[in-house]
Amino acid sequence: MLFLLPEGLAEWEILSAKTGLSRAELLQTLLQLKAEGFPVLVEERGAGLAPGSPAPQILFPLLRGKFGRAYRYFGFVTSTQDVLRAWQDAPIGAVVLAERQTRGRGRHGRAWESPPGNLYFSVLLGKDADPLLSLRAGLALLEAAKVGGLKWPNDLLAPDGRKLGGILVEAEGERIFLGIGINVHVPPLPTSAALAEFREVQRAQLLAHFLWALETWLREKKEDVLLAWKERNVTLGKKVVVRTGKEVFEGIALALGEEGELVIRTKTGVHRIYAGDVVLCATDDVKDPEVGEGEAEGGGSGHGQGKGPGPSAK
């Protein structure tokens, strides 16, 4: 039933003819889908899916590359990362998306709030040991969002510095699970932002744009990725606090290293950080006399993971 629903409202008579169900039977099914978390519209004059919903019948015509052709769409899951992990025969570029996550998490197992109206999805990639994967994904995220800047290692910030989205990279054997969370319509926290505050956006179009941009950035040369990230970042030249496990470094973010690491200068010297959590300090930009062009990547911050029932499309 979900895959037969149009974008926007269709009259009850049209839906009945399309499905062979009476209006009462349709209503019962639609209300069940709505209870399962899907963006179903039910009104007196008809029913359908909210405009821009990332249901396959809306998404597929927008896809340009291979990513997203294998697609599973859910209402509620614990986390899209775990659902994708359980999809054993999923091809490279397969996508799992959920309207809600009940146990989404970010880096280090932190909770990732998942209110409806945003995008929470995971993409399957092959393991190629690319240290710049988070940077490539961040560039794709920024290209799709069209606003904001990139905070090392993999957060998308709004023009005013609030968080718009994040990325989580996990590996298992020869498979990499790239988890993405984008605040499209609903800021999950008072300190976060929603993309709709800055421009008109529909979720299916945003998802399709990201998937194509990701395919493109995954093919780009290393030096081009590093250069593009430096041009679009909001980290370099700033005073930062970086937490890596039990260590905390406070200093100036100088550059991006050849392997995507963040190079910072502290009172004790220059350090290369390959994975960590970065806080941008509330201070004016600091111009360090030894800041060069430099280069960087890192761990991951963002999306969550999980299992759950729901319809799928391949």
Predicted model pTM: 0.86
Is 285 part of a structural domain of the chain?
no
205's tokens: 């179009």
Angle between helices 133-145 and 222-232 (to 10 degrees): 50
- % helix, strand, coil for the chain, step of 5: 25, 30, 40
Q: Are residues 240 and 225 in the same domain?
A: no
Q: Are residues 191 and 225 in the same domain?
A: yes
Q: What's the CA dihedral at 289, 293, 297, 303 to 10 degrees?
A: 80
Residue 74: phi, psi to the nearest 5? -125, 160
Q: Are residues 124 and 156 in the same domain?
A: yes
Is 133 part of a structural domain of the chain?
yes
Model pLDDT, residue 306: 36
CATH number for 167: 3.30.930.10
Q: Are residues 24 and 96 in the same domain?
A: no
**CB proximity list for 60: less than 8 A, separation 6 or greater:** 68, 69, 71, 313
Per-run averaged pLDDT (10 residues), the chain, 314 residues: 94 94 95 96 96 97 98 96 96 97 57 80 89 95 97 93 94 94 94 96 98 97 95 88 85 88 88 84 50 30 35 43
Element (H, E) at 17: helix 12-19
Q: Say whether 112 sits in a helix, a strand or coil.
A: coil
Whats the size of the chain, residue-wise? 314
Model pLDDT, residue 108: 44
Model pLDDT, residue 202: 97
Model pLDDT, residue 285: 45
Gap between the Cα atoms of 59 and 75, Å rounded: 16
Q: Are residues 85 and 226 in the same domain?
A: yes
Is 62 part of a structural domain of the chain?
yes
Domain count, the chain: 3
* Enclosing domain of residue 88: 56-231+301-313
Model pLDDT, residue 305: 33
Is 43 part of a structural domain of the chain?
yes
